[in-house]
Structure 1
Amino acid sequence: MLQLPEALSQAGLQFSGATEEDFDEIMVMSQGLHGGLDYLPTRYMDWLQETNRTVILARKQGKVIALESVFVIDDGETMLLQGLRVAPQERGKGVAGVLQRFCSDLVKSKFPDVKVTRLTRVQLLPKDSQKYRLITKQGVLLVRFRAEELKLRLSDLGLGDIQSSLSTSFKPPPVRLDNTAVRRLYLTSDRMLGVLPNATIIQNWQPFKLLPSNMAILLKKDIDWMVDDVANPTVTSLCTFPFRVPIGDDW
């Protein structure tokens, strides 16, 4: 168990670092979250292996009741909060706040240069606007279809042959960047400053400043970096493969 400050132990909670063995219990606690579109089942094991990421569990009477992930980025100056969830029966009791304070204190003790906390909200509450500065907003379009219907749906959109469609629909076609081109375009030129919101790369809901240390993290991921024009980019996209999510009753 991680050392728990006395003030927090009075809440009857115990904290520990998450392990692979905790997966099933976490999934039970998370059932139905995000309307059945929870990303954590496919991210959890990778999170446990990431450098500078800490996944903390809160337990009550031995049972997992909450989870929070903290990822230190931006040359060690920013902690990114992700994956916060509290068991349904424990919501509204202040568990999330206690867990977040513990995670913040723990990370700052390990990374004393941390100055900024960043997070993602599905819905921005009035109290959030008083505590945080908005970096950007992102829209999500949900489309439902069976996997075997994918090619048919793409054909309906005129995208049966993706590579051919891109070549004929866009003049010139989008450019896929290799790692060298990514570093050159994003780190050694100012051409992306007018494209990226607040000069920030948003990848899978995660905001990264334009820094070599962050680029090292991103280039380890299976990402296709696309721009419309290398010389004068106006659009960029970080493309990743689809991943499976459990489908809930309301989807």
Structure 2
Amino acid sequence: MDVLKFSDLDLDFYPATEKDFAQVRSLCSDERHYMSSIYHSWLQERNRVVILAKCNRGVVGMSSAHIVNDGQTALMEGLQVAASERGKGIARLVHKHILERVRARYPEVKRQCYLTQHEYFKGFSVLSKQCMVFLRFPSINVPALISEAIGNMKKSGDEYYEAISLQPDDVRSIFLNRTVIDTILPGGRIIQRGSVFKPLESNLDILLKRDIVWRADSVGNTRVVSVGTAPFKDPMGNYIFIIDMFGTDLPAVKRVFLSQLQSLPHLQGDVLCRLSVNPSLSPQMWEFCTKKMGLEKRKQYLKNSYVIEGDIFQTIARL
């Protein structure tokens, strides 16, 4: 049976508001989705557009565009479609509509950028690729688990020293360093919980206002840096901890990963971790996390993500 496709005439588009939260939350049923934790802050954020798509059955789609990179790029985030309405062309219409709003409101913005798990890049440039590792903490004392992992590293002869907790001045010094940008950051970009930024002063101003754990193996001669998003509850009641890791030095990546875990507060309930690493390290980090630390794998425990960028006008024409 043919699936009935939506057209522009079937949907109403309007700016999201606080009173829409319950319907927005119903769109984001994925257990790892972060929307519940950031929706309200998105509505208060400068240079951000959040729209909802509604039909006679209620809200069926949403998307957001955040103007970043010194006002040159629309960072596309939060594209969601109601599970019952997927495959009917709603995502295409929502994407087209929000791009048209960006073009009308911010005519100087010509580029769009986003993180995607789909391997379809027609009309886009692929800037980088990361591998996401999905893990679950067993119901044991997390500090004890970390201490055991550190002890095992030392016994096996791995060099171990404490990673550095970065202060704002450290963050600016490291992330604006040309060597770090060219050799450590994936595609010369900072990735944080699905957001993608060029390493610019204005973007660091945005990030430093967020509840982020910044770690590096060292401030001088930096080989690995990471961005940890404060744990949030998903729709299923689990705590989600997202760690974006940059760099390919495996021993340093392990140390910085453990340092991120040490920053976790005591949490009651299941804790899930989404670790993003350079694809060349995903087999080794998978083995370290599951075999050496005893963390448990999730259903889809390894998945690639891509940072892509394209021209807004060309995309609207294709849509």
TM superposition score normalised by structure 1: 0.81
Q: Say if 2:213 and 2:230, in contact at 8 Å, map to a contact too.
A: no
Counting aligned pairs with the same residue, the percent is 33
Q: 1 CA distance for matches of 2:77 and 2:23? A: 18
- Counting only pairs closer than 5 Å after superposition, residues 28-39 of structure 1 correspond to structure 2 as 28-31=26-29, 33=30, 36-39=31-34
- Counting only pairs closer than 5 Å after superposition, residues 137-216 of structure 1 correspond to structure 2 as 137-145=129-137, 149-158=141-150, 172-187=161-176, 189-192=177-180, 193-216=182-205
Code of the aligned partner of 2:24: I
Code of the aligned partner of 1:70: A
**1:66: Cα distance to partner?**
0.4
**1:210: Cα distance to partner?**
1.7
**1:221: Cα distance to partner?**
1.3
Q: Say if 1:27 and 1:41, in contact at 8 Å, map to a contact too.
A: yes
Q: 2 CA distance for matches of 1:111 and 1:83? A: 19
Query: Paired residue for 1:129, among 121, 125, 129?
Result: 121
Q: 2 CA distance for matches of 1:85 and 1:106? A: 17
SS at structure 1 position matched to 2:134: coil
**1:156: Cα distance to partner?**
4.4
SS at structure 2 position matched to 1:105: helix
Change (3 A) 1:149 1:24: farther
Q: Say if 2:42 and 2:48, in contact at 8 Å, map to a contact too.
A: yes
Q: Aligned pair 1:115/2:110, yes or no?
A: yes
**1:157: Cα distance to partner?**
2.8
**1:85: Cα distance to partner?**
1.1
Report which structure shows greater RCO (CA 8 Å, sep ≥6).
Answer: 2
Q: Say if 1:79 and 1:117, in contact at 8 Å, map to a contact too.
A: yes
- Counting only pairs closer than 5 Å after superposition, residues 81-96 of structure 1 correspond to structure 2 as 81-96=76-91
Q: 2 CA distance for matches of 1:22 and 1:42? A: 14
Q: Say if 2:15 and 2:50, in contact at 8 Å, map to a contact too.
A: yes
- Consecutive unaligned residues of structure 2, counting only runs of 5 or more, are 1-5, 238-297, 300-319
SS at structure 1 position matched to 2:78: strand
Change (3 A) 1:141 1:50: same
Cα offsets for 1:89-134 (capped at 9, x unmatched): 322221111111110010111111211111221232xxx2222211
Q: Say if 2:63 and 2:95, in contact at 8 Å, map to a contact too.
A: yes
Stretch of structure 1 that moved more, 170-179 or 62-71? 170-179
Change (3 A) 1:181 1:29: closer
**1:151: Cα distance to partner?**
3.9
Alpha carbon RMSD of aligned pairs, Å?
2.7
Q: Aligned pair 1:103/2:98, yes or no?
A: yes
Q: How many residues align?
A: 230
Q: Say if 1:191 and 1:232, in contact at 8 Å, map to a contact too.
A: no
Cα offsets for 1:73-95 (capped at 9, x unmatched): 10111111111111123222211
**1:50: Cα distance to partner?**
1.3
Cα offsets for 1:170-227 (capped at 9, x unmatched): 555322222122223322x323121112221111121111211111111111223222
Question: Hey, which of these two has a bigger chunk of strand by percent?
Answer: 2
